[in-house]
Amino acid sequence: MKRPYSQSSISEKFLYAYILCFTFITPALADPDPSSPCLKFIFPLQETQIKSNTCTLSVTECSSVKSIDFKAKYIPKDSSIPQIVTLGTITRPPFKQIWDISEIPNQLTYGVTCFAEATLSRRKKETIKQEGVFLIHNPVDPPEYHVSYSRGRYNTNSKTISLTSSSVPFTGTANITWNEKALLFHIKVDNSHFHSALPKEKLAKLGARIILDPKNKRTAYLSSDILIFMIPVTEKPYQISTAPVYKEDGSFEIEETYDSCRCQSSVSMDDFKGYTVTFSVPRNILGPVIPESFGCNIITTVLDENSTVRDLSWLTGNQFTINSPFAFGRLILQKKPLNANLFIQWVLFFLIGLLCGIIALPLSKAARKLNPLVKFENYEQEEQLIRNINTIIDAEVTNKNFSIEDIASKLSIAPRKVDALIRRHFDRSFKKHLLFCRIEIVKERLRSSNASEISIANSCGFSSIDDMERTFRAFSGMTPYRFREENRIS
């Protein structure tokens, strides 16, 4: 017969269960499997392009994390060697660090790498990284080049682009033209250490690299939209296609694919002087229509005194800057000139001929006017018209309803021509000239008669005595009464 459980035996079982749970289960919850990391970057994410002067680093919160050290690897100013700096240590959630990047140069092409190194329970460590984070907080002032139109293949007379480097004394030049078929490059490199008898592996590294950003996206890294053309001095040209690759472990790479290029090119070499590259980018590669402006960089290679290959570039900066579309120079296509289009030429010649005819007609009239005989004839005609106009005015000056249309009708000319003739001969309009003539008659009657001012006003064509007095004062500066008192004939 089984003995029933006592209170003490039940308590002992609960105690054993608690010890078992505390010993095996609790540590498992507190210390997760390191093969399953709990850390993950919340910000910045890969492919982020940061434009402000601060960069916030933030990771997920884990109960087992005791502290996190934030670090960053970037390229310092005037250097191509990356350095790692510790940004700070955070000992409690939220695990966030604000990084002041105002004094750090732009991080292009491959960007900056962010690290989060966590200290877990039992002093275990866990580190995660985030590559492919780009800093573009410092504005750039890219150079510009105006690409002229050329019917021929290359135009060596256009303005040139200087290709330079701070590490070598050699230079290069490039000029670019365009037409309906292609974008044309002519590149000349001066290099006294260059000669065609160099080892093949050395010659293979020499040549020109043309990078185009036809969509003007100006990303910090090389993407699939970027066109890269390589023109080696001893091999056929080829095209490089690029694609950014972001991996789950935070890594970032730019994959390159090499393809043949059906582009017209030629390379001429001059021992101990340098080489010249001519290259055309077909229009269909740039798109259905050649853009009016787009990003570009031209990079050529030379040998220094130690036979080390160096870059000459349109842009200044380290290798990450000169390969980044964000800093590329700007090509601006100039308009096609009118004389480059045959149809427009014919239209232009027609318009010039028509314009010459239009100009010649008034010139011939002007020349005719300058002819002394013609000028005399015109003068006599005008004098006769003025005499006729004065005759009509003298006959109708006292008529209150008399107007310029009456003269024009009698002489069969336009009223404005009558007014123009009066203005030219008397330096006043028809209306003022008519009033002047009426006032002269008023003056004569005021001097020689005792007629009242009302009767004089009515007989001289004025509508009222007030109208006469106002007009009289305007022409003579005094009233009719004062004029009569001072000029009466006794």
Q: Which CATH class is domain 41-135?
A: mainly beta
Mean pLDDT (whole number) for 475-484: 89
* pLDDT for 155 beyond 80: no
Question: For 372-389, what is the mean pLDDT?
Answer: 75
Cβ neighbours, 10 Å, residue 425: 15
Higher pLDDT, 12 or 57: 57
What is the per-residue pLDDT for 15? 41
Query: CB of 422 within 8 A of CB of 404?
Result: no
> Residue 17 above 80 pLDDT?
no
Average pLDDT (47-72) is 92
Q: Which residues of 111-139 are buried (b: 16+ CB within 10 A; e: fewer)?
A: bbbbbbbbbbeeeeebebbbbbbbbbbee
CB 171 within 8 A of CB 187: no
Most confident listed range (157-166, 209-218, 386-395, 481-490): 209-218
pLDDT of residue 25: 40
pLDDT bin (cut points 50, 70, 90) of residue 2 is very low
Indicate whether 339 pLDDT > 70. Answer: no
Q: How far from 155 is each of 149, 171, 274, 293, CA to CA, in Å?
A: 9, 20, 20, 19
| Residue 7 in this model has a pLDDT that exceeds 70 | no
Q: pLDDT tens for residues 103-150?
A: 999 999 999 999 999 998 877 889 999 999 999 999 999 999 999 988
**What pLDDT, on a 0 to 100 scale, did the predictor assign at position 26?**
39
**Burial of 64 per CB tally in 10 Å (0-12, 13-18, 19+):** middle
Q: Give the pLDDT band (50/70/90) at residue 210.
A: very high
Q: Residue 366 has what pLDDT? A: 67
Distance CA 432, CA 361 (A): 36
Cβ of 331: how many Cβ atoms within 10 Å?
22
Task: Tell me if 385 sits within 8 A of 411, measured CB to CB.
Answer: yes
Least confident of 3-12, 306-315, 371-380: 3-12
Selected residue with higher pLDDT from 374 and 394: 394
Residue pair 480/454 in contact by the 8 Å Cβ criterion: no
193: Cα separation from own chain's centroid:
41
Average confidence score pLDDT of the chain = 85
CATH no. of 372-487: 1.10.10.60
247-288: per-residue pLDDT in tens?
Answer: 988 999 999 999 998 889 999 999 999 999 999 999 888 877
Residue 291: phi and psi, rounded to 5, are -65, 150
State the pTM of this model: 0.63
Distance CA 468, CA 202 (A): 109
From the DSSP assignment, how many helices (H) and strands (E) are in the chain?
Answer: 13, 21
Instruction: Name the pLDDT band for 365 (thresholds 50, 70, 90).
Output: low
pLDDT band at 80 (very low <50, low <70, confident <90, very high): confident
Cα 31 to its chain centre, rounded Å, is 58
Distance CA 115, CA 96 (A): 12
- Domain residue limits, the chain: 41-135, 144-336, 339-370, 372-487
Peptide bond into 76 cis (omega under 30): no
- pLDDT on residue 362: 79
Find the helix packing angle between 415-426 and 372-396, rounded to 10°: 100
Total Cβ atoms within 10 A of residue 336: 15
Establish whether domains 41-135 and 144-336 are of one fold. yes
Across the range 452-481, mean pLDDT stands at 90
* 144-336 maps to CATH 3.40.50.720: no
Confidence class for position 370, pLDDT limits 50, 70, 90: low
Indicate the pLDDT class of residue 340, thresholds 50, 70 and 90: low
Give, in order, the Cα–Cα distances in Å from 433 to each of 392, 399, 412, 426, 437. 13, 14, 20, 8, 6
DSSP conformation letters of 99-132: EE-TTSPPEEEEEEEEEEEEEEGGG-EEEEEEEE
Mean pLDDT of 72-90: 91
Residue 439 has pLDDT above 50, yes or no: yes
Q: Crossing angle, helix 372-396 and helix 404-411, to 10 degrees? A: 130
- The number of CA neighbours under 13 Å toward the Cβ of 351 is 6
Q: Minimum mean pLDDT among 117-131, 299-313, 316-330, 352-366: which range? A: 352-366
Long-range CB contacts (< 8 A, 24+ apart) of 340-347? 340/149, 340/151
Distance in Å from the first CA to the final CA of the chain: 177
